[in-house]
């Protein structure tokens, strides 16, 4: 059965429905799934799972990659990053989600939106919401990580919010060297500058990344930008 729209568009529709009608997100997801001919969101997600953008992206990752996932608020960057972590865990790898934005419960509560159950990945998934998150903190925390562990950092622009932390470029360089040494895959969630105009470009690009402080964007190996139902993935350039 072909979906009427990409799964990310359907997720956004469910989130909007949840807000407008004051119903739990899982109930809104099931209602959207019903309009697509499925009895529950989990069945819809399973049907689409073999061909999701996350599965195609993950297949192109290499140990040591630094990946930038950018979008405006509400366009699916956190869900996509979480899906990348799930792809790793489905292949038997581990994943850690570092967040300066959400609580552990808020991260875990997003699993149903991607058709997954956090209980399924017990022992493979960690969430760290410490206020101390920085490059040095991540390096210490992941010192014993196994190769190809996916590390998600939510989000890039918050890494140097504390004056005591090194500047952003220094932190990203540190994480790049660490990722290559340990053969990890590090995914940075990124904000997009307010000047981005979707009427001019269907998707943002590196030039639209919000940079309150200088950053060498050439440090990233791959990028993924989202807008509405569009996803643009490729090598950083």
Neighbour-count burial for 33-56, b at 16+ CB within 10 Å, e otherwise: beebebeebbebbebbbeebbbbe
CA geometry: angle at 223 spanning 135 and 93, to 5°?
65
Residue in 52, 46, 162, 146 with CA at minimum distance from that of residue 96: 146
The whole-chain average pLDDT of the chain stands at 92
Please tell me the pTM assigned to this model: 0.81
Instruction: With beta carbons less than 8 A apart as the criterion, state whether 182 and 135 touch.
Output: no
Q: Where in the chain is the domain with CATH 3.40.50.300?
A: 53-235
Q: What does the pLDDT look like over 127-186, one tens digit per residue?
A: 999 999 999 999 999 999 999 999 999 999 999 988 899 999 999 999 999 999 999 999
Residue % of the chain over a pLDDT of 90: 72
Instruction: Provide the 10 A C-beta neighbour count for residue 91.
Output: 11
Instruction: With beta carbons less than 8 A apart as the criterion, state whether 128 and 99 touch.
Output: yes
Q: What does the pLDDT look like over 97-106, one tens digit per residue?
A: 999 999 999 9
Q: What does the pLDDT look like over 182-210, one tens digit per residue?
A: 999 999 999 999 999 999 999 999 999 99
48: pLDDT strictly greater than 80: no
Cis, peptide link before residue 88, omega less than 30° from 0: no
Where is average pLDDT lowest: 39-48, 96-105, 109-118, 203-212? Answer: 39-48
Predicted local confidence at residue 38, as pLDDT: 87
pLDDT band at 15 (very low <50, low <70, confident <90, very high): confident
SS3 188: strand
Give the right CATH number for 53-235 from 1.10.10.10, 3.40.1190.10, 1.10.520.10, 3.40.50.300. 3.40.50.300
Q: What is the mean pLDDT of residues 118-124?
A: 93
Predicted local confidence at residue 3, as pLDDT: 77
Q: What is the mean pLDDT of residues 225-234?
A: 90
């Amino acid at each position: 059965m072909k979906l009427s729209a990409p799964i990310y568009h359907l997720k956004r529709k469910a989130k909007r429905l949840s807000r407008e009608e004051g119903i739990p997100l899982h109930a809104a997801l099931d209602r959207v799934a019903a309009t697509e001919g499925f009895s529950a969101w989990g069945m819809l997600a399973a049907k689409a799972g073999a061909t999701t953008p996350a599965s195609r992206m993950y297949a192109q990752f290499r140990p040591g990659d630094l990946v930038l996932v950018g979008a405006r608020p509400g366009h699916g960057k956190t869900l996509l990053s979480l899906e990348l972590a799930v792809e790793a865990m489905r292949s038997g790898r581990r994943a850690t989600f570092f967040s300066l934005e959400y609580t552990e419960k808020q991260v875990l509560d997003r699993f149903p939106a991607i058709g997954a159950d956090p209980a399924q990945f017990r022992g493979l998934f960690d969430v760290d919401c410490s206020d101390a998150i920085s490059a040095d903190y991540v390096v210490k925390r992941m010192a014993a990580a196994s190769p190809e562990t996916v590390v998600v950092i939510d989000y890039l622009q918050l890494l140097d919010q504390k004056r005591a932390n090194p500047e952003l470029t220094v932190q990203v360089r540190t994480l790049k060297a660490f990722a290559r040494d340990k053969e990890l895959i590090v995914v940075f969630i990124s904000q997009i500058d307010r000047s981005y105009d979707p009427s001019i470009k269907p998707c943002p690009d590196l030039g639209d990344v919000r940079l309150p402080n200088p950053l060498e964007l050439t440090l990233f190996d791959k990028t993924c930008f989202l807008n509405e139902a569009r996803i643009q993935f490729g090598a950083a350039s």
